[in-house]
Structure 1
Amino acid sequence: MKIAVAQFNATVGDLAGNTDQVIGLLAEARAAGADILLVPELTIAGYPPEDLLLRPSFYAACNAQLDRLLDVADDVTLVVGHPLMLGEERFNAVTVMRDGHILGRGQKMVLPNNEVFDECRYFTPGASPCVFEQRCHDGSVVTVGVPICEDIWHLEPAAEAAELGAQILLVPNASPYHRGKEDVREAIVRQRVEETGLPVVYCNWVGGQDELVFDGGSFAMNRAGEVVAQLPTFETATAVLEFHDGDLLPGPQAPARSEEESIYAALVLATRDYIRKNGFPGAIIGLSGGIDSALTLAIAVDALGAEQVRAVMMPTRYTAQISLDDSREMVRRLGVQYDEIDIEPMFQSFLAALAPQFDGLPVDATEENLQSRTRGVILMALSNKTGRLVLTTGNKSEMTTGYATLYGDMAGGYAVLKDIAKTLVFRLSRWRNTVSEVIPERIITRPPSAELRENQLDQDSLPPYEILDAIMERYVERNQSIADIVRAGYAEADVLRVVKLLKVNEYKRRQAAVGARITPRSFGKDWRYPITNKFFS
């Protein structure tokens, strides 16, 4: 039996477009002599459809596309995911079809309701897995089980499919990326293989959807728990695998990526898909001469091409000459459109207009924020005039501590580095320069500064980034308590300072642009803390 597994890039709500892609994949599978085509979870709808799933008309529109597929799935068995409404109940379903007939149908049995998932809001759990019989070109018959995504993370659905006679498990998935996720998936699937004795083909989405990015990385595991085929990550791909004599035979093996390469690829894919799927003609970035805006610019160019990216430098009296020099050098290397707009006169106008109101009051962060907000106004004006999307440049360390200005450097439509700690910003920048040296070395090596006052450095206002990021990871991503982190060897004063900054800046994060998720817990769908909150731990 030959199984075509296809990880492709869908768009939520583009029901006809997603179905068109499946029709194309059916033709490829047919030409390759495949018996079965396996595509990801909720193929027709895209993932996650969120509250589209509360609209009955959405199910009717998905059913119309399902009928289209039923008409064209000839000579190849299609295993396709879609939302299904039966009476008042809604299901995350899979339908198996061939030659105008439905061979099987099942509903997802285990609904994830953690991290970025809230399927219990939308779906009713299914009662049993989909199991069907596949007659192959040589006349043999193979019984196939189809647990859906989360189902494979639990024993019962796979075990029940085995009890119903399944000889192999085909798993459609919508499993978003975060650091280390590939190893977790393999470990879970290996556990199911050991428990059931059945080989598994795991098919995953690839592409960006708002803050989520799906990495593909589909794979096949034989009965010995060995990965015998591996599709590439962060790109569309199709492979034809062979099931023979009760097991999966070796197939293509895409090379593994380093952690830095994987994260960078995730950011490029997420940025490209957010801009293109939402119809923006390109991106605008405010350059500062610092490492965050430099890395954001590099990612944007890799995602869109230099011709679709515009960089704007907006100096004031506090902007160092080396910041101007390094920015000019970087845009020269990348070949993007570049403009310098001196905002000192605008800044002075604001100060003059506000002088009566500020009379007798000391200079503080207010004056610093005025500069940042002036830049935000200019970037948004250019965005309105050209249609290009402003990419914000703040990182996760800044989002944690509130070291960012509302309506200033936070103004924009997509936050590329929102889930990237400052220390990781440096690692990614160095990795990108191993591909081609687009970021001037001085940008990477000089101490970070907002350049909003004389001789300003980030570390004047924040703990050293090595300490800040380690505390942030433990508190935000691992849910450790203050006491846990202190016991791990961090100074109590540093821990209390970071956690307090995190707590009092919740209102800022609630207004921040959406950004790519690359850690197990980002400041997005999986971070839902109240703004008004007196609990401190």
Structure 2
Amino acid sequence: MAALKIAGATVNQTPLDWTGNLNRIIQAIDQAKSDGVEILCFPELSITGYGAEDLFLSYWFPQKAVSQLEKLVPYCNEITVAVGLPFRIDGLVYNTMAVIEKGEIQGIVAKQFMAIDGVHYEFRWFTPWPANQVIEVEIAGKKVPFGDLTFHHKGVHYGFEICEDAWRGKVRPGYRLCDRKVDLIFNPSASHFAMGKTMERKELIEKSSSLFNCYYCYVNLLGNEAGRMIFDGEILLAKEGKLLSRNQLLSFQDYQVLSFSLENKTQHLAPIQPKEWEFAQASALGLYDYLRKSKSKGFVLSLSGGADSSSIAVLVAEMVRRGIHELGVEKFVEKSGIHLRHSSENPEKELVNQLLTTAYQGTRNSSDDTFQSAKTLAESLGAQFYAWSIDEEVTSYTEKIEAALGRKLTWETDDLALQNIQARSRSPIIWLLTNIKNALLLSTSNRSEGDVGYATMDGDTSGSISPIAAVDKHFILHWLQWAEKNLDRPGLSAVNSLTPTAELRPIERTQTDEKDLMPYSVIVEIERLAIRDRRSPMDVFLLLKEELNIEESLLKEYIKKFFRLWSRNQWKRERLAPSFHLDEFNVDPKTWYRFPILSAGYQEELELLDHL
């Protein structure tokens, strides 16, 4: 096989940003040319972005994508380029990779298997292409082969598995490509980020290179493209079951090009980072892209001094720190679409101050501990910090209802209502501040609270975006301990010393989250089986009684409570602000787990536990 230099190029694209998307592809092509690359592969749907949703069903949208493809042709005289786009034929839309070489479109390969699990709904938009079938289509008056194709370049025979194609076991296209004796398989992907997922990909790519006796090159999209999914921009090359090259994930750059020679030796291996680092980097990139793509001027956060809001404050500060480190202050500011108000010796803190506004909204039930925790953290990060009481608003609401009902509200008879009105009263004023600043309001609910509805609608769920709604509270508590030391965030010391509490009941009632619910470590185990694995209540009990050191009657009560609260609170999950997909699963019905708003709430299934 002739010596050949190939590359993968990841790009941070945005649906409907036709000019920007095209320019990023062209810039990556130019860099690849300067690096002496001969074959360059972009990710799946790189012309349009993967998250275009029902735009794919429009007649005009795939047509516009083809017109953008035609604009790329003049840039590909001295390099072979594979780029992804939707393609419509007779009313059906296909997910395709177009190969351009010597100023002509050489052919278009169509994806054969659709991703339909978890966050994916590809069958809604795309039609699978049959194996071994090839037709001709017309582009700019020229006939172009379309379908299940392979290509040759300087003695190298290569083909494609497009994302999901590679995950289909014994029916995947790679087997047929192997039969055709290809030397190289490209896997252009739009594979959403999840903590720890890179290890699964590494195993797949290494196994594929061994199984098909070829070089295997994987290239993924980059960034928070359309709001919820974050793409990590991973680029991998393997041969004979060994990983030869890997880039560092989750870059703040507009694009990255990673080139390799087709030589069976290790070339560049970025380290695989721990989940804690991945969470921080993915969230920081997700927040940055959401900020700039929504053309907002910053974030506003109701900072309670507790774990959830504190973790989000640190993530915004990490967005600034990591963005400056990778892009530099000038480019970070320019790309954000903001203006640095003051030049200083500490631009990181100056930018955090400009981009993050926090407010502690206390009541007579709030403690000095949480106030000091919030104030100390905000000051250590550089964020703006305000503090006020909402007792006046709460009193106004409760007095009006008391007058209407003709009785006093008491904690003995109206506990939940009195808790919720405090959380809800915080929302209008923090929204007012957010609107004044033309900012995004950050919602503070986590996944564990989403499971059981331990969140006040239009209270702590209020927000433009909910950064940690897909992450469980047990992980958040662990991550804060890790972040204090590993991210050098001493302001978290007070946060990490507190017991999680909503502080909505009078202080003498000693309210804590786990007393209201159950241990967060137990919620994690129940949701893993009930939601991720879709097990029945009985299955959950039989499995966990062997795994957890909990008395059986108490475990049954925890399981009943989880399923009952889960069922009655689906309406809350339907109304969550958009959230990032950060873990292997989440409970957002718009991206991962659909459940009926109205149901019998596992009544018969839970009764079986009582007879066991």
Give the TM-score, by structure 1 length. 0.95
User: Cα deviations across residues 491-528 of structure 1 (Å, max 9, x unaligned)?
Assistant: 11111111111111000110111111122221221111
Paired residues of 1:239 and 1:252 also in contact (CA < 8 A): no
Per-residue deviation, 1:438: 4.2
- 2:262 is matched with 243
- 1:171 is matched with 187
- 2:327 is matched with none
- 1:402 is matched with 453
Q: Does 1:502 align with 2:563?
A: no
- SS of residue matched to 1:496: helix
Q: 2:364, 2:61 → 1: CA distance?
A: 55
Per-residue deviation, 1:89: 1.5
Closer, same or farther: CA 291–171 of 1 in aligned 2, 3 Å: same
Specify which of 147, 151, 157 is matched with residue 161 of structure 2: 147
Q: Does 1:314 align with 2:365?
A: no
Q: Does 1:533 align with 2:573?
A: no
- 1:220 is matched with 237
Specify which of 112, 115, 121 is matched with residue 115 of structure 2: 112
Question: For 1:40-51, what aligned pairs fall within 5 Å after superposition?
Answer: 40-51=43-54
Per-residue deviation, 1:274: 1.7
Specify which of 338, 348, 351 is matched with residue 385 of structure 2: 338
Question: For 1:460-499, what aligned pairs fall within 5 Å after superposition?
Answer: 460-488=515-543, 489=545, 491-499=555-563
Q: 1:534, 1:130 → 2: CA distance?
A: 51
Paired residues of 1:219 and 1:230 also in contact (CA < 8 A): yes
Per-residue deviation, 1:98: 1.9
Paired residues of 2:563 and 2:601 also in contact (CA < 8 A): no
Which amino acid is 2:153 matched to? Answer: Q
Q: How large is the Cα RMSD of the aligned pairs?
A: 1.6
What's the % identity of the aligned pairs?
25
Which amino acid is 1:256 matched to? Answer: I
Which amino acid is 1:369 matched to? Answer: N
Specify which of 91, 114, 133 is matched with residue 152 of structure 2: 133
User: Cα deviations across residues 73-100 of structure 1 (Å, max 9, x unaligned)?
Assistant: 1201111000101121210001000232
Closer, same or farther: CA 258–210 of 1 in aligned 2, 3 Å: same
Paired residues of 2:160 and 2:185 also in contact (CA < 8 A): yes
Closer, same or farther: CA 515–439 of 1 in aligned 2, 3 Å: farther
Paired residues of 1:242 and 1:249 also in contact (CA < 8 A): no
Paired residues of 2:280 and 2:318 also in contact (CA < 8 A): no
User: Cα deviations across residues 148-207 of structure 1 (Å, max 9, x unaligned)?
Assistant: 111122343112222334211011011111233112222223333333212200001121
Which amino acid is 1:521 matched to? Answer: F
Q: 2:52, 2:177 → 1: CA distance?
A: 27
Per-residue deviation, 1:350: 1.3
Which amino acid is 2:454 matched to? Answer: Y
Which amino acid is 2:31 matched to? Answer: E
Paired residues of 1:241 and 1:249 also in contact (CA < 8 A): no
Q: 1:440, 1:26 → 2: CA distance?
A: 44
Per-residue deviation, 1:216: 2.2
Q: Does 1:55 align with 2:55?
A: no
Moved more, 187-196 or 231-240: 187-196
Q: 1:166, 1:47 → 2: CA distance?
A: 28
Specify which of 97, 103, 109 is matched with residue 106 of structure 2: 103
- SS of residue matched to 1:49: helix
- SS of residue matched to 2:50: coil
5+ long unaligned stretches in structure 1: 136-140
- SS of residue matched to 1:355: helix
Which amino acid is 2:309 matched to? Answer: S
Paired residues of 1:143 and 1:166 also in contact (CA < 8 A): yes
Per-residue deviation, 1:48: 2.3
Question: For 1:150-229, what aligned pairs fall within 5 Å after superposition?
Answer: 150-154=164-168, 155=170, 156-208=172-224, 209-222=226-239, 224-229=240-245
Aligned length in residues = 528
Q: Does 1:2 align with 2:49?
A: no
- SS of residue matched to 1:48: helix
Q: 2:558, 2:232 → 1: CA distance?
A: 36
Paired residues of 2:86 and 2:95 also in contact (CA < 8 A): yes
Give the TM-score, by structure 2 length. 0.84
Per-residue deviation, 1:432: 1.5
Moved more, 143-152 or 248-257: 248-257
Specify which of 492, 505, 510 is matched with residue 453 of structure 1: 505
Specify which of 317, 320, 323 is matched with residue 370 of structure 2: 323
- 1:379 is matched with 430
Paired residues of 1:144 and 1:168 also in contact (CA < 8 A): yes
Closer, same or farther: CA 535–401 of 1 in aligned 2, 3 Å: closer
Closer, same or farther: CA 443–23 of 1 in aligned 2, 3 Å: same
Q: 1:104, 1:242 → 2: CA distance?
A: 24
Question: For 1:287-436, what aligned pairs fall within 5 Å after superposition?
Answer: 287-304=303-320, 305-306=351-352, 307-360=354-407, 362-433=413-484, 434-436=486-488
Closer, same or farther: CA 330–354 of 1 in aligned 2, 3 Å: same
Per-residue deviation, 1:358: 4.0
5+ long unaligned stretches in structure 2: 132-147, 321-350, 549-554, 606-612
